[in-house]
């Protein structure tokens, strides 16, 4: 073969193979074109949706929680700015590592870690999870500076619930906290799944949660790959929480709290006798709801739980105690209404009474001598009421007690109210499977034995006595036009002249020398109060102790001392406020609870007087529209 032929053959082969190569390239490029067609035409809609999924982040907008105000508009629960650091897990990549990085800038406790892990499991990958709230400025800026190295991390400005009155209103307002798994089961409100969202956990915050909470809004955000928000595409703010006005008087509440704080453990309720509006409701000791709003530490919470003075329990509505002698008005009214006795009925007290083989003692060992009904109330003579009890029987007493709000929940808008107990033979058969002893009627007639009442119930009882109307206690004055308080109540089904006898007796207690609480009277004309003391035994006094001399309260351990109670209303002539004071193991109703009741009722009236005089004067232009919550107005 010649060189020419060889060369020509080679050229032909090269041309052939070049053609093959070109053909392969055309085929390959055709494959690319086919793929382009598939992606950009066939699958276009699916990928467009995915692209929008990528860039559009739908976020729930938490509505601002409604404020809680007192009857004069003083804010009791408000929202304050709160900086928090959040993470979006799908953008963070290795969440664990990112959390460790953040932990170097902001210390995270074990409880934080647990909560974060829980939120991570519960939330979808695109939802921001709160790592830590209530950051200081230093922490905020430390994180801001490091944001480029912290994918998925961002700083949020949120709102935290704040309670300006702190402990004073802790039990009434309750507090807010994160939704528990149980809360989530009960409600399908999407807001609950929003990490960091708080719902009412007690008190008014829980009772009116749906009104205070509002409804979720939504926000469409354009975000980039690392979760940074580029712009807002649309926003629906939802329904902000509704402002709730309570019947409370913040200044009075503040005063009552301070007054009760002097005691180991106490509770008091002040109620408007005509409207039933709660003016003040306080239980001491309390807790700081602001701590709960930001998340209370484990140790602090344990300390509250273990305190024998039960700071977490609202004793004003959930504490059930024997009402002691404050119950005697009920026995007296039951007797008068029965027609078996009248106000002139006289009993001679020798210090005790015999019933069967038992001897029932009066609190005064030597006896009171002969007393009528007013005198018996004034001296709180036990023997007189033993006598009444024997004559009218337990059923009448129990029926009268229920008429005045004892023995069942009075229905105040607060969670956790307890019913107390008004015993009668039927109840004892049902509950204890035992027969009623006549002696138990005697014990019950002076508010001991099975009888239990909450301070709230005693306040309601007193309000009904003072007003002669079946006032229902309530806390909500108005909720942004959705609700207005009821202020008119029907007359109570008791003869006015019988009621007058009892009120006269209560007046004698405080305003006639020799009355058990004469020392605690109000001396300012027109502001006088009427009341009734009560000291409830919490231990049994044995015969042996009685014979050797009953030990004085001062000699007993705190836990064994008598409860001190006092119910009162003022002013005597035109009752406006009723008050019940309970001092746990306070020893003496007249001596300890009486002065507190007096101070509270005096404060009520002083505040009214001060407000009336301000209202009469032309207001200066710069005067603040709300009364200052801090001062007591004395």
Partner 1 sequence: MSLDLSIDRGAMTIGEKLGQISWSLVLLITLVASIGFAMLYSAANGHFDPWASRQMLRFGVGLVAMLLIALIDIRFWMKLAYPLYGIVMLLLIGVDLFGNVGKGAQRWIDLGIIQLQPSEIMKVTLVMVLARYFHGATLEDSGRIPFLIPPLLLVGAPVALVLAQPNLGTSLMLVMAAGALFFLSGVRLWKFGVLIAAIIIAVPLTWQFVLHDYQRDRVETFLDPDSDPLGTGYHITQSKIAFGSGGLMGKGFLQGTQSHLNFLPEKQTDFIFTMLAEEFGLVGSLFFLFLYGLLLLYGFIIAGRCRHQFGKLLALGVTVNLFLYLFINVAMIMGLIPVVGVPLPLISYGGTATLGVMIGFGLLLSVHVHRDVRMSRRGMGDL
The answer to whether 40 contacts partner 1 (rule: CB under 8 A) is yes
Identify the helix (H) or strand (E) that includes residue 369. strand 369-371
Q: Which span sits near partner 1 by CB under 8 A: 3-11, 490-498, 529-537, 567-575? A: 3-11
> How many amino acids of this chain bind partner 1 (CB under 8 A)?
43
Binding pattern to partner 1, positions 72-101, x when CB under 8 A? ------------------x--x--------
| 16 vs 358 by CB, closer to partner 1 | 16
The C-alpha atoms of residue 168 and residue 226 are separated, in whole angstroms, by 46
The answer to whether 48 contacts partner 1 (rule: CB under 8 A) is yes
C-alpha distances out from residue 260 to 48, 82, 263, 569, Å: 67, 33, 6, 18
| 38 vs 298 by CB, closer to partner 1 | 38
The answer to whether 298 contacts partner 1 (rule: CB under 8 A) is no
Residue from 13, 300, 541, 623 that binds partner 1 (CB under 8 A)?
13
The tokens describing 530, both together, are 């009427």
> What is the SS3 assignment for 321?
strand
The answer to whether 44 contacts partner 1 (rule: CB under 8 A) is yes
The C-alpha atoms of residue 268 and residue 280 are separated, in whole angstroms, by 8
| 8 vs 145 by CB, closer to partner 1 | 8
C-alpha distances out from residue 364 to 114, 350, 352, Å: 61, 9, 9
Q: Phi and psi of 371, rounded to 5°?
A: -135, 150
The tokens describing 419, both together, are 């019913």
List all residues 6 or more positions away from 31 whose beta carbon is below 8 Å from its beta carbon: none
Residue from 23, 43, 239, 408 that binds partner 1 (CB under 8 A)?
43
Q: Phi and psi of 68, rounded to 5°?
A: -115, 130
| 7 vs 308 by CB, closer to partner 1 | 7
**DSSP code at position 620:** P
The answer to whether 10 contacts partner 1 (rule: CB under 8 A) is yes
Q: What is the CA radius of gyration of the chain?
A: 36
Neighbours of 612 (CB within 10 A): 9
Least Å distance between CB 86 and partner 1? 19
251 with 627: CB under 8 angstroms? yes
Considering only residues 163 through 222, tell me which ones interact with partner 1, judged by CB under 8 A.
Answer: 222
Considering only residues 17 through 36, tell me which ones interact with partner 1, judged by CB under 8 A.
Answer: 17-18, 20-22, 25, 28-29, 31-33, 35-36
The C-alpha atoms of residue 281 and residue 76 are separated, in whole angstroms, by 14
Question: Closest Cα to residue 107, out of 128, 135, 79, 80?
Answer: 135
| 227 vs 311 by CB, closer to partner 1 | 227
| 32 vs 557 by CB, closer to partner 1 | 32
In the sheet where 229-236 sits, what is the strand order? Answer: 56-61, 217-223, 229-236
The C-alpha atoms of residue 194 and residue 192 are separated, in whole angstroms, by 5
| 25 vs 234 by CB, closer to partner 1 | 25
Least Å distance between CB 154 and partner 1? 15
Least Å distance between CB 130 and partner 1? 22
Least Å distance between CB 15 and partner 1? 8
Q: Which span sits near partner 1 by CB under 8 A: 5-13, 128-136, 377-385, 564-572? A: 5-13
Neighbours of 629 (CB within 10 A): 17
Q: What are the residue numbers of the active site? A: 325
Residues near partner 1, by CB under 8 A: 4, 6-7, 9-10, 13-15, 17-18, 20-22, 25, 28-29, 31-33, 35-37, 39-41, 43-44, 46-48, 50-52, 54-55, 90, 93, 222-226, 230
């Amino acid at each position: 073969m010649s060189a020419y032929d060889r060369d020509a053959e080679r050229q032909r082969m090269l041309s052939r193979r070049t053609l093959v190569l070109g053909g392969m390239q055309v085929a390959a490029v055709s494959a690319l074109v086919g793929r382009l067609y598939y992606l950009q035409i066939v699958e276009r809609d699916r990928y467009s949706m995915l692209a929008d999924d990528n860039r559009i982040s739908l976020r729930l907008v938490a509505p601002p929680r409604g404020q809680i105000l007192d009857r004069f508009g003083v804010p009791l629960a408000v929202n304050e700015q709160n900086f928090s650091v959040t993470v979006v897990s799908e953008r963070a990549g290795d969440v664990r590592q990112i959390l460790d990085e953040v932990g170097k800038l902001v210390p995270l406790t074990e409880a934080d870690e647990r909560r974060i892990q829980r939120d991570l499991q519960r939330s979808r990958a695109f939802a921001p999870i709160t790592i830590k709230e209530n950051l200081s400025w230093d922490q905020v800026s430390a994180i801001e500076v490091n944001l480029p190295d912290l994918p998925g991390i961002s700083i949020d400005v949120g709102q935290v619930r704040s309670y300006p009155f702190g402990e004073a209103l802790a039990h009434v307002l309750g507090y807010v906290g994160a939704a528990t798994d149980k809360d989530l089961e009960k409600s399908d409100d999407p807001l609950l799944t929003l990490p960091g969202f708080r719902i009412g956990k007690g008190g008014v915050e829980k009772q009116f949660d749906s009104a205070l909470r509002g409804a979720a809004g939504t926000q469409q955000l354009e975000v980039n790959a690392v979760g940074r928000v580029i712009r807002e595409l649309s926003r629906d703010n939802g329904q902000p929480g509704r402002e709730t006005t309570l019947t409370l008087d913040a200044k009075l509440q503040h005063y009552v709290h301070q007054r009760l704080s002097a005691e180991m453990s106490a509770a008091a309720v002040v109620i408007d006798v005509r409207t039933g509006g709660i003016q003040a409701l306080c239980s001491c000791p309390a807790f700081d709801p602001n701590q709960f709003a930001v998340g209370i530490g484990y140790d602090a919470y344990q300390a509250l739980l273990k305190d024998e003075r039960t700071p977490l329990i609202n004793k004003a509505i959930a504490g059930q105690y024997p009402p002691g002698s404050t119950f005697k008005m009920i026995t007296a009214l039951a007797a008068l209404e029965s027609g078996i006795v009248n106000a002139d009925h006289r009993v001679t007290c020798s210090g005790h009474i015999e019933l069967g083989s038992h001897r029932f003692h009066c609190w005064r060992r030597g006896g009171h001598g002969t007393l009528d009904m007013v005198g018996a109330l004034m001296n709180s003579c036990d023997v007189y009421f033993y006598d009444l009890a024997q004559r009218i029987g337990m059923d009448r007493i129990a029926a009268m007690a229920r008429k005045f709000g004892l023995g069942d929940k009075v229905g105040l808008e607060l969670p956790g109210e307890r019913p107390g107990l008004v015993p009668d033979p039927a109840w004892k058969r049902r509950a204890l499977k035992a027969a009623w002893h006549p002696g138990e009627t005697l014990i019950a007639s002076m508010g001991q034995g099975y009888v239990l009442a909450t301070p709230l119930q005693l306040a309601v009882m007193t309000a009904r006595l003072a007003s002669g109307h079946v006032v229902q206690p309530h806390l909500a004055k108005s909720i942004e036009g959705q609700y207005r308080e009821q202020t008119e109540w029907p007359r109570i089904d008791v003869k006015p002249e019988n009621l007058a006898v009892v009120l006269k007796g209560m007046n004698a207690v405080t305003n006639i020398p020799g009355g058990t609480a004469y020392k605690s009277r109000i001396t300012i004309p027109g502001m006088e109060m009427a009341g009734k003391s009560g000291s409830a035994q919490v231990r049994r006094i044995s015969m042996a102790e009685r014979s050797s001399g009953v030990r004085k309260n001062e000699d007993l351990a705190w836990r064994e001392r008598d409860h001190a109670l006092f119910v009162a209303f003022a002013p005597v002539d035109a009752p406006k406020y009723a008050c019940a004071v309970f001092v746990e193991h306070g020893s003496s109703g007249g001596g300890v609870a009486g002065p507190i009741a007096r101070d509270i009722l005096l404060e009520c009236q002083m505040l009214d007087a001060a407000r009336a005089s301000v209202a009469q004067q032309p207001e200066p232009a710069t005067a603040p529209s709300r009364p200052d919550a801090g001062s007591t107005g004395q």
